[in-house]
Amino acid sequence: MNGRIILAIAQKDIRDAIKNRYLLVGLILPVGMSLLFRVLFSGASDVATPTVAVYDPAGSRFTAQLQALPQINLLKVDSMTQLEAQVRNAGMAVGGIAIPPNLDQDIASGTQPEITVYLNMQKNATQLAALRQLVSDQVWALNPAAEPARIHWSDVAPPQGSSASTAFRIELYLLVLFLVMSLTMTGAFVVPLLLVEEKDKHTMEFLLVSPATPAEVVAGKAITGLVYSAIGAGTMLALNHGWAGNWPVTFLTVLLGALFMVAVGLLMGSVFQTMMQVNTWSSIIMLIILAPTWFTVFQLPPILNTIVRLIPTYYLADLLNLSLSNMVTLSTGATDFGVLLASLILIFGLVIWILRRQET
Amino acid sequence: MNTIETNSLNRSFNGREAVRGISFAVEEGEIFGLLGPNGVGKTTTIRMLTGQLRPTSGEARVAGYDVVRQRQALKSQIGVVFEYQNLYERMTGRDNLLLAARLFGCDTRRVAEMLEKVGLQERAGEPIRSYSNGMKQRLLIARALIHDPRILFLDEPTKGLDPAASRQIRSLVKDLARRGVTVLLTTHYMEEADQLCQRVAFLCDGRIVALDTSQNLKVAHGQRLVRAVFRDGGERTVRLDDPADGRQLGEWAAQGEIVTLHSAEATLEEIFIQLTGKGLAE
């Protein structure tokens, strides 16, 4: 691999792509739509760190432990009535935790006290799942050798006609949707077009009689895709408070997502020969890739849920949801991260295999 | 010294033989033409010689490199002008050459030099889509020469060009050969081959049916004829190989009856038809 050649191809494509109307639309559309929806939902609240209310009259070690966590804002309340109000009526908190008065002593004596966790069902499913995981992890952390306390989960149904937190959920949902759409448009539409246009206009033959190898041409296209993904996703995150939440994880997730989508695009570009094929197939492929993003926050029937989980974008959207709502932990994010990484390696492997076959 | 050598080169596509056992050699600094109508295997031969296509069997060496095993090393020795004008249309002429210079790792000052050489320096900042076909063809030649290759492959270099643009291209090719660049060109314009090439090979159905200098082909396959035009407007064709015809021609000339004499030797196109039974437009 020759870095000079790869950069020459990438530089050419980065400058040339913005002169191509098709590519330009592919790059700008998701950012434009995100801006439009931001204007439409301008009154909506931030994707800030979620609040968890806690009632702990004795001041336990568990509360101190929760307070130290950066993923949540802990709101201490003085009574059960206030706790319920936070979860039910005002609707600010994702959940509320009621801690018995003698928690620390009971754990020490091994009597397994009961902690009650109220889940605000108005909040999105990802946040609630993350809260469940977080509370379980923290309870086990009190005594990793044996289950220190039992957890009683109590779903708090939303009051009739309430829409207190709907705006928040939609904004996060749309941010994730448009982020994934931006990565998909760049990866699964722009990248294959860059490759197939070279074949269609016979400029690929010029590149291949120059010192460039097929692998270097593909690497140049991959860099172009990553640069445009970074610009698209970066703009979208900047415009939508993407730094809120766990930004290092968000950054890593976007990078993984961009790499995955670029790999998909390279695979398409290696298989397809004409612009017509890309235009026809990329819409179908993009629909399939984007489908899980639409459903991450909804309860789906089991069969649909299984199908959606077969598509790696499900895990990308889930990880983005978790990181943007600052609910990501090792246990909640590990599966998403692992599946994404494995899919990425698999598709890049396929691309390399196809390239080697073409070179021989 | 031969810079291009092929030995029983074959190429099939899905069982159909496009090139069948082609063998020829091209000397350094020679302009060599592969002639024939569309679809006889000219472009396939060029694609094999430039490392773009693997031969099904046979071997070829270009600039001393095996076109299959040493394909990557071969690239710096050759320049290729393709049949289609495969330039980056949205980019300027200068940017197209800059890209080529960067890919070949040569000094980017060569770009200005090449633009001047092909007379495009004034239009270098304009996008390719505003160029005429002749300008694009000149830029393609400049791009193929940016790294100063030893061998230039030209696939139908004047196809679709007007006579003035064709003349410019032919002049550029002659100039290159004078400077020692070996040129292998394909064409179905026999006049062009006659003017440019030191030797030509006739291709028909993937095979070479004749290979020699134009002159030798004409002598071998044509007749030595002269067409005389008389004062009274009449015309007579005279066979130079016939002593009686020769004497008669001398007498007419002495009596001042002849207005003009025209060579009536066979053209390359006529010889091609004679050898293959096919026209060049087929």
B272 touching chain A per CB within 8 A = no
Structure tokens at A351: 């691309």
Q: Give pLDDT, residue A127.
A: 74
> What's the gap in Å between the CA of A14 and the closest CA on chain B?
12
Contacts of A301 (CB under 8 A, 6+ apart): none
pLDDT digits (tens, 9 = 90+) for B94-151: 999 999 999 999 988 899 999 998 888 889 999 999 999 889 989 999 999 999 999 9
CB pairs under 8 A between A and B: 58
| A210 closest CB neighbour out of B75, B90, B95 | B75
Beta carbons of B36 and B210 less than 8 angstroms apart: no
Nearest to A132 by CA among A145, A120, A147: A120
CA atoms of B251 and B249, how far apart (whole Å): 5
Contacts of A73 (CB under 8 A, 6+ apart): A48, A49, A50, A51, A52
CA atoms of B104 and B75, how far apart (whole Å): 9
Contacts of A211 in chain B (CB under 8 A): 72, 75-76, 103-105
Beta carbons of B60 and B9 less than 8 angstroms apart: yes
Angle between helices B133-145 and B109-117 (to 10 degrees): 140
Closest residue in chain A to residue B143, using alpha carbons only: A206
Q: What angle do CA B239, B242, B244 make, to 5 degrees?
A: 110
> What's the gap in Å between the CA of A17 and the closest CA on chain B?
9
A21 touching chain B per CB within 8 A = no
| A212 closest CB neighbour out of B51, B90, B103 | B103
Contacts of B99 in chain A (CB under 8 A): 8, 12
Mean pLDDT, chain B, whole residue set: 88
Angle between helices A214-239 and A191-200 (to 10 degrees): 140
pLDDT digits (tens, 9 = 90+) for A220-250: 999 999 999 998 888 888 877 666 677 888 8
Beta carbons of B175 and B8 less than 8 angstroms apart: no
- List, in sequence order, the alpha helices (H) in chain A: 3-17, 21-40, 61-67, 80-84, 103-109, 125-142, 166-185, 191-200, 203-209, 214-239, 247-271, 275-295, 302-308, 312-324, 330-359
CA atoms of B157 and B141, how far apart (whole Å): 9
Pairing of strands B235-239, B225-230: antiparallel
Closest residue in chain A to residue B152, using alpha carbons only: A209
B100 touching chain A per CB within 8 A = yes
Mean pLDDT, chain B cut into blocks of 10 residues (282 residues total) = 90 90 92 88 92 92 92 92 91 94 92 90 91 90 92 88 84 88 89 88 90 86 82 85 85 88 80 79 56
Is there a contact between B143 and A206 if contact means CB atoms under 8 Å apart? yes
| Residue B126 backbone phi and psi in degrees, to 5 | -95, 150
Q: What is the 3-state secondary structure (H, E, C) of A301-333?
A: CHHHHHHHCCCHHHHHHHHHHHHHCCCCCHHHH
Closest residue in chain B to residue A209, using alpha carbons only: B75
Q: Give pLDDT, residue A297.
A: 62
CA atoms of B191 and B267, how far apart (whole Å): 8
With b meaning 16 or more CB within 10 Å and e meaning fewer, what string describes A90-126?
Answer: ebbbbbbbbbbeebbebbeeeeebebbbbbbebbbbb
* B-interface mutation test, from A11, A206, A207, most B Cβ less than 10 A away: A206
With b meaning 16 or more CB within 10 Å and e meaning fewer, what string describes A326-351?
Answer: bbbbeebbeebbebbeebbeebbebb
pLDDT digits (tens, 9 = 90+) for A254-300: 999 999 999 999 999 988 888 888 888 888 888 888 888 877 666 67
Question: Which domains does chain A show, CATH number per domain?
Answer: 3-41+167-359 (no CATH), 51-122+124-162 (3.40.1710.10)
Q: What is the pTM of this model?
A: 0.73
The phi-psi region of residue B243 (left if phi > 0; otherwise alpha if psi is between -120 and 50; otherwise beta) is: alpha
Closest residue in chain A to residue B76, using alpha carbons only: A211
Closest residue in chain B to residue A17, using alpha carbons only: B90
Contacts of A4 in chain B (CB under 8 A): 102, 105
The pLDDT > 90 percentage for chain B reads 43
Is there a contact between B88 and A211 if contact means CB atoms under 8 Å apart? no
pLDDT digits (tens, 9 = 90+) for A314-328: 899 888 888 887 777
Closest residue in chain A to residue B103, using alpha carbons only: A5
Contacts of B76 in chain A (CB under 8 A): 211
Is there a contact between A8 and B143 if contact means CB atoms under 8 Å apart? no
CA atoms of A188 and A284, how far apart (whole Å): 10
Is there a contact between A8 and B86 if contact means CB atoms under 8 Å apart? no
Each residue's pLDDT, cut to its tens digit, for chain A (360 residues) gives: 888 999 999 999 998 877 877 778 877 887 787 777 767 765 544 456 788 999 998 889 899 999 888 888 888 999 988 888 888 755 678 889 999 988 888 888 888 899 999 988 777 666 777 788 788 888 888 887 778 888 888 878 654 444 444 444 567 778 888 889 889 988 888 899 888 999 889 999 999 899 998 889 989 999 999 999 998 888 888 877 666 677 888 889 999 999 999 999 999 998 888 888 888 888 888 888 888 887 766 667 778 888 888 899 989 988 888 888 777 777 778 888 899 999 989 998 888 888 777 655
> What's the gap in Å between the CA of A195 and the closest CA on chain B?
13
Burial (CB count <10 Å: 0-12, 13-18, 19+), residue A3: exposed
DSSP output for B112-162: HHHHHHTT-GGGTTSBGGGS-HHHHHHHHHHHHHTT--SEEEEESTTTT--
B86 touching chain A per CB within 8 A = yes
Contacts of A206 in chain B (CB under 8 A): 80, 82, 86, 100, 143
- Tell me the C-alpha to C-alpha distance, in Å, between residue A62 and each of A81, A141, B51, B60: 21, 9, 70, 79
CA atoms of B93 and B115, how far apart (whole Å): 8
Nearest to A325 by CA among A2, A65, A71, A69: A71
* CATH of range B2-218; options 3.40.50.150, 3.30.565.10, 3.40.1280.30, 3.40.50.300: 3.40.50.300
Closest residue in chain B to residue A212, using alpha carbons only: B103
Structure tokens at A357: 């076959």
Q: Give pLDDT, residue B44.
A: 93
Question: Which DSSP state fits B225?
Answer: E
**Residue ranges per domain, chain B?**
2-218, 223-264
> What's the gap in Å between the CA of B155 and the closest CA on chain A?
13
Question: Which DSSP state fits A243?
Answer: T
Angle between helices A247-271 and A191-200 (to 10 degrees): 20
> What's the gap in Å between the CA of B159 and the closest CA on chain A?
17
Q: Letter for the amino acid at A137?
A: D
A208 touching chain B per CB within 8 A = yes
Q: Give pLDDT, residue B101.
A: 95
A8 touching chain B per CB within 8 A = yes
ipTM confidence score: 0.84
Please list the residues that pair with B65 across neighbouring strands: B62
A98 touching chain B per CB within 8 A = no
B87 touching chain A per CB within 8 A = yes
A4 touching chain B per CB within 8 A = yes
